[in-house]
Structure formats: structure tokens, C-alpha cells
Amino acid sequence: MAGGKNHGRGKPPAQKKPPLTHFLCLPLVTRDSKPQLQASTEKFRDIVTTKNEQNASQAGYAGDDEGSKSETITSSVHPKAIRPVGALHCTLGVMSLDQNKLEEAKELLRHLDISLMLQHAGSQKHELADVTDVAAGEPLVKSSDSPSNTAPLRIDLRGLVSMHAPQKTSILYSAPVDQTGRLYPFCLAVQEKFKGLDLLVKDDRKLKLHATIVNTIYAKGRKQGLPPKWKMKQQATTSGQAALASSTEGSAGGKAAASGDQAGDETSPKKPEQGEVEGHGPNANAPLKIDATSILEEFKDFVWAENFVLDRIAICEMGAKKITNDEGRVVAEEYTEVASVKLPT
């Protein structure tokens, strides 16, 4: 009797997931926040980065080939691990969209009733008043003031938290704090709208609003030889997407080029061969780890930006783009916004 194609080989391999293409987010870079974020990030960089970048680069040469299990733990932060100011955002969900689905997502974003959603978020804030974000250690409501429920969303971005055990982590982030308590329920409502039309990749984890400040996956070195097959395919996909992307609004006079990086934390906890990148989120497995104990203590009250208004919700392409000036020097790194809707300002 003729055997099947997989006779004697066990279960057939699982079907690969389509690649991630976009993500829904709250951009944190605005006209008012940008100067603050630039100054604070530069100060942070000066304090925590190693004085010897060559040693930091050598520390990153670990675990990049398919069979390697090695990792490096360092107490300093490689400069490339610090996310560029233009890429700072809070992710609401990641997407895998073809052109038709992308147009559907844009249409939904354009027709969100922002005022009504903010009003509903204001009515829910009392239910969340005693809820604490355990990871960030910050209450979701920090003030008893009660401005209009449709007033601008004004936030502070302060402190530094580890995504993993501080002694062995690859991601450090800051959580936004909203004095009115409307931000979190508002973001949940936006997320639910997109989930309802099956526009977000399924993720059962609770939404964690955070801005990634450090991710060592971007500082990872490369050993001699070819990268693993899944990464070669992924890089080809990312490069193809980036080639079609236009420069982000506001970068007039510059040119956009693919950076080869995926969005800072736009992944769900799945294996890299399913089309996603190692090194992002709570299940990150970047080979370069940081002992961030002293860094977290030093920056626990650090102000990245304060009292600034969130001005939009956006759908962005995966893969930050490097912006160069006329001389070809990289002056910024940003995600391309394919659609956005204004928030009250």
C-alpha cells in the first residue's frame, strides 16, 4: 500500500503564518514632546552607554547562528540598543494585512468617533481607579481632578521598568501616566474596534501601554557566515516592504531608507519561523542581556517628557526607516504612517 507524503515522518510541519505588515499605535513624538524626548534620551545615552563601543560590539557577537545557545550579560547599554526618538510609540496591536484589508483598516480609523469613545472612557475611569499596573508600579489614575471627558489626553512619560527580571533583561521601557484615567480604557476601546473586524493579529495578553526605550535586539552582532534561513527570508520580506514605503510625514528634504529592523515591540510570543522576530515583548530571547539593576534604580523617577498632549492614533508600516539628509547622513529614524486620525488638542 502506497504511503502518504509524510508517511513515517510524524506530523507535517505547521503552516507558516503570514508576515506582520503594520501596527496600530499612539505615536509619542509630537511638536511639544519632541524637544523633551530628544534632550532626555541624549542624557540617558550619555550616562548608560559604555565608554568603549568596541567592547560593546564584541559583546553583541553571540547566538546569531542557528545552532548557538550562547548569550552575553553586560551592565552597560550598547548605543544601538537605545531606540531613536522618532520611533517612540505605544502599540495597540499588530497587523498582517493585504491591500484590501489595509484599506479596510484605514477606513475604520478614519470613522472612529473619538469624542464618544473619550466620553465612554471617562465614565469607565472610576471602575479603574484602584487598578495598578503591576509591571510599571504606577496607578492608572493619579489625580482626583475631573476635566471634561473630551479634553485632550495629556500624559507624563517617566521612570524606567524592565520587561524581564532586572538582572537578565533585554528590554527596558517607560509607561505613560494619564492624570485623568481615560487613556487606558480609551486604548482598549480602540483596540476592540479593530479586533471586531479581525484586523489585528490575535493576542490574548492584556494590553500593556509602554514605550520601549532599550531593546538589545538592535545591538546584536553577527558571527561570520550566513544567518539562519528564517532570518534570511524575513529580511527579504522586510526589505521588500520598506522599498515600497514613502518617508514619514514631516521629513521633507530627507530620504527614507529601510533600516532592516522590525517595529520595536510589535510582536506576539510565537516562534521566529512563523514570520516574527526574536527579541521583542515579554518572551524576548535576545542573546545580549543587560544586568539593569543599577540602571533601573538610577532612572526610576527619570522624566522622559511630561505634560504633553497625544495628538493622533496611527497605522504604521513595520520596519523603521532611516531618514538621511542631502549629504547622506542619517539624521532620524521613524516609522512610516500610512493613516492617522487626530485626537483632541
Residue 243 is predicted with a pLDDT of: 32
Residue 203 is predicted with a pLDDT of: 93
Residue 277 is predicted with a pLDDT of: 44
Residue 225 is predicted with a pLDDT of: 41
Strand partners, 258: 321
Residue 16 is predicted with a pLDDT of: 80
Residue 178 is predicted with a pLDDT of: 94
- CATH no. for residue 333? 3.90.1140.10
- Determine, yes or no, domain membership for 161: no
Residue 149 is predicted with a pLDDT of: 84
209 and 174 Cβ atoms separated by less than 8 Å: no
For residue 292, count other CB atoms closer than 10 A to its CB: 27
Using one digit for the tens of pLDDT, what is the confidence trace for 132-180?
444 444 444 444 445 578 899 999 999 999 999 999 999 999 999 999 9
Question: SS3 for 113?
Answer: coil
- Determine, yes or no, domain membership for 293: no
* Residue type, position 60, single letter: G
- Determine, yes or no, domain membership for 189: yes
DSSP state of 79: G
The domain tally of the chain equals 1
Residue 36 is predicted with a pLDDT of: 98
- Determine, yes or no, domain membership for 313: yes
- Determine, yes or no, domain membership for 217: no
Q: What is the dihedral of CA 135, 263, 274, 278, to 10 degrees?
A: -60
- Determine, yes or no, domain membership for 246: no
Residue 107 is predicted with a pLDDT of: 98
Residues (pLDDT < 70) of the chain are 1-11, 50-70, 125-147, 220-285
Please state, in angstroms and as integers, the Cα–Cα distance from residue 32 to each residue in 28, 35, 52, 103, 306, following that order.
10, 7, 34, 31, 10
Residue 74 is predicted with a pLDDT of: 83
- Determine, yes or no, domain membership for 86: yes
User: Residue 279: which of 125, 134, 71 has the closest Cα?
Assistant: 71
- Residue 96 belongs to domain spanning: 19-53+73-126+149-154+180-205+309-344
pTM: 0.73
206 vs 112: CA distance, rounded Å: 22
3-state SS, one letter per residue, for 184-222: HHHHHHHHHHHHHCCCCCCCCCCCCCCEEEEEHHHHCCC
319 vs 334: CA distance, rounded Å: 9
Those residues whose C-beta lies under 8 Å from the C-beta of residue 70, and which sit 6 or more positions away, are 62, 63, 287
- Determine, yes or no, domain membership for 36: yes
User: Residue 293: which of 182, 175, 161 has the closest Cα?
Assistant: 161
Residue 287 is predicted with a pLDDT of: 79
H/E stretch holding 242 reads: helix 229-244
Distance of CA 277 to the CA centre of its chain: 12
Please return the burial class of 133, using the count of CB atoms within 10 Å of its CB with bins 0-12, 13-18 and 19+: middle
